[in-house]
Each structure stands twice: as C-alpha cells, then as structure tokens.
Structure 1
C-alpha cells in the first residue's frame, strides 16, 4: 500500500446516489441526496429536522489548500496523510463539547465514517466570522505598516507582535462576492465592519437584525469553550474562523447554527503554550505550512499579492513540493488531533472503498 493510496485526494467521484451535480470545495465535496433518500433517512434515523429537509453527504479530503491554492508533493502525493480524518475528528470533538455546554447545534446529523458527515441543508450567513485573541499574521503585518483600524475597530498604539490583544476581537469578512452593499467591495474575503452587517443584515442572509448579535454571541461562546479546553492541554487558541447558517428543526422552528468545521488547524491558529512561554512560536496549525511556502519560493509576494493570482496558481500547479513538507504538516495535524480528542487517529488503507461500503450497507445510498 503506497502512501499516495492512503490519501483521499479526489472525493467527488464516489458512486453516491444523487440527482444534482457534486459540489467540490477546496477540501470537501457535497453530494445532495435525492428527495426520496433524504425523506427515508430522516424517518429511519430519526434526525431532528423537518421531514422534507434536503440532506447531503459531505466527504472531506486530504487535499491541502493554502493561499487559495491546492498543493501537492513529489511521488504523486496529492494530499496530506491523515489530514481529513484529523480535521473531522477535531470538529466532531468541539461540536460535542458545544452540545455539552448548551451552545447552538451544528448542521451535522450523523458521522458514518471518519471522512464523512451527513448534513442538513442550511441557509448560510455570508460572513466569515473571525475571532482573534492575539495580534499576528495579516493583522500584525497591517498594524506594523501603520494601520490602526480593523473592521471598524480602533486598535491602540504600542501593541507587540504575537502578544495578546486588549480584548477578544471580532473581525468579520465577506464570504463570497456580495453585490450592491454600500461601502462593501464586490470581492471575496474583504474585511467588513459590524455596522456594514447591521445596516444590510438581509444582504448578508440574516433573517432578522437581532441575529447579528446572536451570531456574535455564538462566536464568542464557541471561541471561549475551545480556548478553555485547549488551555487544559497547554495549547493557545490564537484566532479562528467560524461559519453560521439557519436550519429548521422537526417542529419547523428556524435556528441559527454552527456550520462547516470549527476549531481545526485549517481554520485556526493554535500555539504550543510551553514553547510560547519560552519565547518561541510553535504552530499546531496550517500556519506552519504557509510559512514553509513563503520561505520555499524565491518570490513570496506571489503568495501574498492577490493581483498575482495567475502566477500563484501556476506555482501550485507546476511545483512538486518536497515530500517532507506534506509529511511535516501530517505530523502536526495528527499530533494536535490526538492531543485534543485523546484518541489515536487511525489511517485507513483505502478510505474511498470504506466510505462506499458503509454508505451502501448502513444507509442504502450507493447505486
């Protein structure tokens, strides 16, 4: 069994019964179930959703995305061994902790396999909800250049790199390209202010104005729950990105829920506390891989400058990274997942076949 076989790089070609195109993101692929299969599973499995709620199978992959590109290594390695299983295990752990702490639900109804979620269709909020506890990364780079206002929040003078911010900051950005919102550029992932969202709540897909405060409450609560749990295993929750959406429960009530992944090394920065106390930053997140890329290529501006996207895509497409670059990030992902969950992550010899077998045998979803 080669290393490349253990990696699930292509996840949009599974024979899952669907009558819609498979939607593939950077890391996950989404298979919308037929109306009949959705209804049947809701009934058979007793999911707490509206009887006619559309369901989907979400399959994670081991692909690695950084600077909006997918990267690969020599030897035909198209992903990071263990990454998908590690990300799902971490998200599942936090979602369970959220439930235990009385926080909102997520869109996940069932976890048939370490790579697979069964989810209900949600109406997504078009806001990347970002929460920061330390000043680092892009915020520090901008601060160092003299910027003091971030998403409508004024930062004081005298902050130091990689040190705690005066308070937990929420610095939202757009999710996707939103058109026709005053003073919001029509581009993906641009910083916005709280006032932008409040003034145009419907354009951001909020059902009502007061839900803006509700998403902030859920963001803060989720951040604090994860931060406290990480502190117990000597890890620092530096910053993270959450996503939110609306679903209806079996009684027809609309509720705001957590969507996608939470508190993973892909969506967050996590630092080792003991190393930090001794003055060094050890990243237990994808940030280490980003730093590797910035050091690996002679012109890092290609990776940082959005106007050079064509060159950046060519860089990712045409370069086999050294094998150890992906193996290092594999070690990071598996290590932090095992620390967080307290369980070993088992790598599957053939994840694709396992998924097909389970979805066929236990869910009747394979043609």
Structure 2
C-alpha cells in the first residue's frame, strides 16, 4: 500500500446521513446530524446534553495547513501520514486529564474512531485564546521592532528571544472577522486587548462580563495541566491557542467549555527541553514545518505578509513539496503524540472504510 493511500486527505465525502451541507475547514469536516439521529443517539448513548441538542460528527483529516494554506507533497501526498490520528489522540488525552483535574468539559461526547468525534453544538466565543510562557514568534518580532505593548499588556525592557516570560501571558486575537468594534480591525486573527473584549462582550459572544475571567481561568488551568504533563516527558510548553464556547447540559444549565483541539502540535509550540537547555530550539510542533517553508521559498515575505494572500495561495497550489518535508512532520507529530499518550499511534490502512463501517454498525448513521 502506498503512503498516499494511508493519508485521509478528503474527509467531506463520507456517506453520513445529514440534511445540511458538510462544513469543511482547513483540517476537519463537520456533518450535522438530523434531529431524529441526534435525539436517538442522546437517548441510546446517555450523553449528558439537553434531549434536543444538535449533534455533529467531526472527522479530522491528514491535511497540513500552514500560513492559512493547504500544502501537498510528492508521490500524491495530499497530507501527512499519521497527522490526524496523532492530533486527535493528543487532544483526547488532554481532555481526559482536564476532566480528572476538575476543569471544564469539552464539546466531545464520544470517540467512535481515532479520526472521529461526536460533538454537541456549541455557541463559540469569538476569541482565539492564546497563552504564552516564552517570548517567541509574532510576539518576539513585535518586541524586536521596539513595541512594548502587546494585546494591551506592557512588556518590560530587556527580554531576550525564546526566553521565559516573567509570567504566563494571555494574548487574545479575533476568531473570524468581527465588524463594528471600535479600535479592532475587521480582519481575522488580529490582536485584541482584554478591554476590547470587556467593552464588546456581545460581539465576542460572551454571555456575561464574569465569563471573561472564567475563560482566563480555564485557559491558565488548561495550560498548567498540559505544561506539567509535558515536563514529565521532557518537553517544554511554549505557547498555545485554546477555543471556548457555551453548551447547555441535560438540566438546561449553560456552561462554558473547551472547544476544538487543545495542546496539539497544530495549535501550540512545544520544545524539546534537553535541547533547549543546551541552547538549541528543537520544535515538536508545526512550527518546524513553517520554518521549512520560510527557508524553502526564495521570498518568505509572501508567507508572512497578509497583503500577499493571492500569491501565497498560488504558491501552495502550484508547488509540490519534497516527500521528505511531509515525512519529517509525520515523524514529529507521531513522535510527540506517542510521548504524550504513552503508547504507539496506530495508522489505519484505509481510515475512510473503517469510519464508515463503525458509524454504520454502532451508530446507525450510514444508510
């Protein structure tokens, strides 16, 4: 079997019963179940949600997104072998730890297959909740240019690149394009301050001002749990992005939960601690792939400059990357996943066939 066959690149064409168009994101596809199927599964499986909660099947892929583009490799590789299974395994592990530590729930109700989550519909908070323990990436680039305020936080003089910050910082940005917020550009992924959020809670989808402090607490607690666990396997948690939303439980109570993935190499920077202590940065995250792309193309500004998006999209569409570049990221993802979960990551020979068989036999979701 070829490597390309092991990759789940297209994940929006599964024969899952749904009355709505499949929503396909950069990496995951979402199939909203019919009302009948949602209510049947809630009853059959005993999910702790309102009896009429809309449910969805979320299927991850092995596609690799960087700089807001999807990349492909030689040999028909439309993704990274093992990436989807590694990401889901890591998120599942952290969500389990969150539960054991009494943190908030997540939107995941069930895990039928390593590539699949059954989730409940949540009202997303329109904030990319970013937590930073070290100064690197965009924060370092701004600091190096002389900026001393980042997301409304005053940074001290004398910080050095890739070094630990005096304290854990919350540096939020927008999730999606938000309109009509004073001082916030109408663009995705722009830095915002806590004040911006406080003054516009409805625009950011918060139910109350108190929930801003609640999301900050959950962010710091989640970061702490993951950071401590990574330390135990010789890894340093540098920074990460969390997402939050609201759901209603079986008693009708609204609660704030973790959404999407957490603590993965896609949403975080993770460094090898021994190498870091020896003065070398070894990335166990997607950052290694980003750095490869910046060196691989002669004009890195295309990848960094949001005003050159059409050129960037053409770059991703028209260039087949060396197979080794994708296999390198495969080894990184599987390696860090196996360290975190403590057992080997199993790669499916035909993930699509497996998913369909399970959803048909155990969940009655395939005609």
TM over 0.5: yes
Which runs of structure 1 show a deviation greater than 6 angstroms over 4 or more consecutive aligned residues?
none
Matched, 1:176 2:153: no
Q: Which residue of the partner structure matches residue 19 of structure 1?
A: 19
What is the Cα deviation at residue 10 of structure 1? 0.2
Q: Which residue of the partner structure matches residue 105 of structure 2?
A: 105
What is the Cα deviation at residue 34 of structure 1? 0.2
Matched, 1:278 2:278: yes
Q: Which residue of the partner structure matches residue 74 of structure 1?
A: 74
What is the Cα deviation at residue 328 of structure 1? 0.1
Normalising by structure 1, what TM-score?
A: 1.00
Q: Which residue of the partner structure matches residue 121 of structure 1?
A: 121
User: 1:85-234 alignment to 2 at 5 Å?
Assistant: 85-234=85-234
SS in 2 for 1:111: strand
What is the Cα deviation at residue 142 of structure 1? 1.1
Instruction: Deviation per CA, 1:197-245: give whole Å up to 9, x if none.
Output: 0111111000111100000000000000000010111100000000000
Structure 1 portions without partners, runs of 5+: none
Matched, 1:335 2:335: yes
User: 1:294-309 alignment to 2 at 5 Å?
Assistant: 294-309=294-309
Task: Work out the CA distance in 2 between the residues paired with 1:119 and 1:262.
Answer: 15
Instruction: Deviation per CA, 1:163-210: give whole Å up to 9, x if none.
Output: 001110000000000011111111000000000001111110001111
SS in 2 for 1:271: strand
Aligned residue-pair number = 367
Structure 2 portions without partners, runs of 5+: none
Task: Work out the CA distance in 2 between the residues paired with 1:92 and 1:103.
Answer: 14
Q: Which residue of the partner structure matches residue 46 of structure 1?
A: 46
Normalising by structure 2, what TM-score?
A: 1.00
Task: Work out the CA distance in 2 between the residues paired with 1:121 and 1:180.
Answer: 26
Q: Which moved more, 1:253-262 or 1:181-190?
A: 181-190
Q: Which residue of the partner structure matches residue 64 of structure 2?
A: 64
Task: Work out the CA distance in 2 between the residues paired with 1:274 and 1:21.
Answer: 47
Task: Work out the CA distance in 2 between the residues paired with 1:213 and 1:181.
Answer: 20
